Amino acid sequence: MEDLNWLWILLPVVAVVGGAGLLVPRRGRKSAPPAPPTAPTAVETPVAPAPAGAPVDTAPAPAAPALDVPEPVSGRMVRLRSRLARSGSPLGAKLLAVLSRDSLTEDDWDEIEETLLLADVGAGPTSELLDALRTRVRVEGVQGTTAVRALLREELLRLVDPTMDRSLATAPTDTDGGPVPAVVLVVGVNGTGKTTTVGKLARVLVADGSSVVLGAADTFRAAAADQLSTWGRRVGVPTVRSDREGADPAAVAFDAVRQGRTTGADVVLVDTAGRLQNKAGLMDELGKITRVITKEAPLSEVLLVLDATTGQNGLNQARVFGEVAGVTGIVLTKLDGTAKGGIVVAVQRELGVPVKLIGLGEGPDDLAPFDAEQFVDGLLGS
Ligand SMILES: Nc1nc2c(ncn2[C@@H]2O[C@H](COP(=O)(O)OP(=O)(O)OP(=O)(O)O)[C@@H](O)[C@H]2O)c(=O)[nH]1
């Protein structure tokens, strides 16, 4: 109980701080904060009937768990910044080292180019940055560590683009029939961290005072639904799932959204499998999920989860999902495991949509809203 008292004390604080960076202001909120500790049976609540031919079961309600108190969102970017800085940050450190040399030769510029390419910044953004740096070093005669760092910070920031809208649409949507939950569909190939991200995001939303329903539409792997239920249970969030391996993911997604609607939830987060080997199959599956969900509520976000350590491979995935899934935001996971932060720039360019969230580790609160300035400062080791 003592833990839970902390939750109620924390919620108003987190709602203010978290709302600034991550979430759009709520419109027409109609529901109370997450299930209070006295109603633990809200976890894994029964679902509405499945569409014809696609039965969906729900697991029985477990015994009352002690609920976690998610870490406030506000401190997380600071953690990212220090992690990036601690990682040795080859990108920022190497660029600074070369740019600080007395007079830059062609070999030095080649070294800068190579560093950027190795950090997965991508060919287009690399040549843009090189042109900008060359011009400014020549024209402005920038010299000295402080001035060079300021120049590099400015130009890296321009590439990462602080003007992009990175807020998450997690406010209920107004429809003719009244407000319906925001629906966030999470897509990406297997192993990138989708289920983990859905679990972490549920915690962020709970910390923000939202009521959440999870939909385990990754029916390919039975353990994925267990994994998701565990995440939900820890913060008192119900999970709609099927225990039948290979059940129709669209049916589970539909039931999750219906459940959210019936219970007046603010947000429904839907995890998917993304295991399909070809574009046509992927398009069919995601198309069907989207079609059935939108019978209940419009899609508010389609988040593509990409593993930051996969480089060019990740970009290829981004391209395919971008074409078939109408992606509105990118979640870059495992940024803690790579020094190649340049992927942020490359993937935004590839898809034309912003990185909205980043994964910083395997801990339950290792998910942060992406902040361009903090990210660049982390790269520069400041
Ligand atoms: N280091 C690190 N590991 C992460 C991060 N996000 C996820 N992981 C790990 O990546 C592994 C795969 O995560 P899942 O969430 O199961 O991935 P998935 O995309 O749902 O995989 P499938 O269910 O197989 O499609 C797990 O071991 C996670 O703990 C992150 O930001 N950093």
Give the pLDDT confidence of 26-37 residue by residue, as tens digits: 333 333 333 332
Give the domain CATH number at 146: 1.20.120.140
The domain in which residue 95 lies consists of 78-160
Residue with CA at minimum distance from ligand 1 atom 1 = 361
Is 337 near ligand 1, meaning CB less than 6 Å away?
yes
Please indicate, yes or no, whether residues 146 and 234 belong to a single structural domain of this protein: no
- Tell which wins on pLDDT, 243 or 316: 316
The interaxial angle of helices 145-160 and 90-99, nearest 10 deg, is: 130
Give the pLDDT confidence of 16-70 residue by residue, as tens digits: 333 333 444 333 333 333 333 222 222 364 333 444 333 344 454 455 557 888 8
Please indicate, yes or no, whether residues 227 and 318 belong to a single structural domain of this protein: yes
Check the annotation: does 335 bind a ligand: yes
Average confidence (pLDDT) over 226-249: 92
**E strands within the chain?**
173-175, 178-180, 182-187, 212-217, 239-240, 267-272, 299-307, 329-333, 355-359, 367-369
**How many angstroms separate the CA atoms of 102 and 42, rounded?**
65
- Tell which wins on pLDDT, 90 or 270: 270
Give the pLDDT confidence of 86-139 residue by residue, as tens digits: 665 567 878 888 888 878 889 999 999 999 998 889 899 999 999 999 888 888
Please indicate, yes or no, whether residues 210 and 68 belong to a single structural domain of this protein: yes
Choose the weakest-confidence range: 236-245, 285-294, 311-320: 311-320
Average confidence (pLDDT) over 303-320: 88
Q: Are 330 and 193 in contact (CB under 8 A)?
A: no
pLDDT band at 278, cuts 50/70/90?
Answer: confident
Q: Are 262 and 48 in contact (CB under 8 A)?
A: yes
Check the annotation: does 174 bind a ligand: no
User: CB neighbours (10 Å) of residue 289?
Assistant: 25
Compute the distance from residue 196 Cα to the ligand 1 centre, in Å: 5
Give the pLDDT confidence of 136-192 residue by residue, as tens digits: 888 888 777 788 888 889 999 999 999 999 999 999 999 888 899 999 999 998 889
Is 120 near ligand 1, meaning CB less than 6 Å away?
no
Give the domain CATH number at 38: 3.40.50.300
Is 79 near ligand 1, meaning CB less than 6 Å away?
no
Please indicate, yes or no, whether residues 265 and 367 belong to a single structural domain of this protein: yes
Q: What are phi and psi of 60, to 5 degrees?
A: -65, 150
Q: Are 34 and 208 in contact (CB under 8 A)?
A: no
Measured from the Cα of 366, ligand 1's closest atom is 31
Compute the distance from residue 308 Cα to the ligand 1 centre, in Å: 11
Please indicate, yes or no, whether residues 284 and 347 belong to a single structural domain of this protein: yes
Q: Are 77 and 369 in contact (CB under 8 A)?
A: yes
Query: Over the chain, what is the mean pLDDT?
Result: 80
Residue 285 has pLDDT above 70, yes or no: yes
Please indicate, yes or no, whether residues 259 and 336 belong to a single structural domain of this protein: yes
Is 364 near ligand 1, meaning CB less than 6 Å away?
no
Is 369 near ligand 1, meaning CB less than 6 Å away?
no
**Structural domain total, the chain:** 2
pLDDT for position 8: 35
Please indicate, yes or no, whether residues 83 and 71 belong to a single structural domain of this protein: no
Check the annotation: does 190 bind a ligand: yes
Ligand 1: which of 227, 269, 333, 370 to mutate, judged by most atoms within 8 Å of the beta carbon? 333
Please indicate, yes or no, whether residues 119 and 258 belong to a single structural domain of this protein: no
Instruction: Give the alpha-carbon dihedral of 17, 18, 19, 21, to 10 degrees.
Output: 100
Please indicate, yes or no, whether residues 238 and 295 belong to a single structural domain of this protein: yes
Compute the distance from residue 359 Cα to the ligand 1 centre, in Å: 9
Compute the distance from residue 217 Cα to the ligand 1 centre, in Å: 16
Show Cβ contacts of residue 352 under 8 Å, excluding neighbours closer than 6 positions. none
Nearest Cα neighbor of 18 from 67, 69, 68, 77 is: 77
Residue with CA at minimum distance from ligand 1 atom 17 = 193
Is 194 near ligand 1, meaning CB less than 6 Å away?
yes
User: Domain end: 109, 126, 160, which one?
Assistant: 160
Residue with CA at minimum distance from ligand 1 atom 25 = 190
Q: 3-state class of 346 per DSSP?
A: helix
Choose the weakest-confidence range: 83-87, 115-119, 367-371: 83-87
Compute the distance from residue 135 Cα to the ligand 1 centre, in Å: 42
Please indicate, yes or no, whether residues 226 and 336 belong to a single structural domain of this protein: yes
Please indicate, yes or no, whether residues 153 and 193 belong to a single structural domain of this protein: no
Residue 11 has pLDDT above 50, yes or no: no
Q: Could you tell me if the ipTM is greater than 0.85?
A: yes
pLDDT band at 274, cuts 50/70/90?
Answer: confident
Please indicate, yes or no, whether residues 202 and 289 belong to a single structural domain of this protein: yes
Measured from the Cα of 199, ligand 1's closest atom is 15
Average confidence (pLDDT) over 11-20: 34
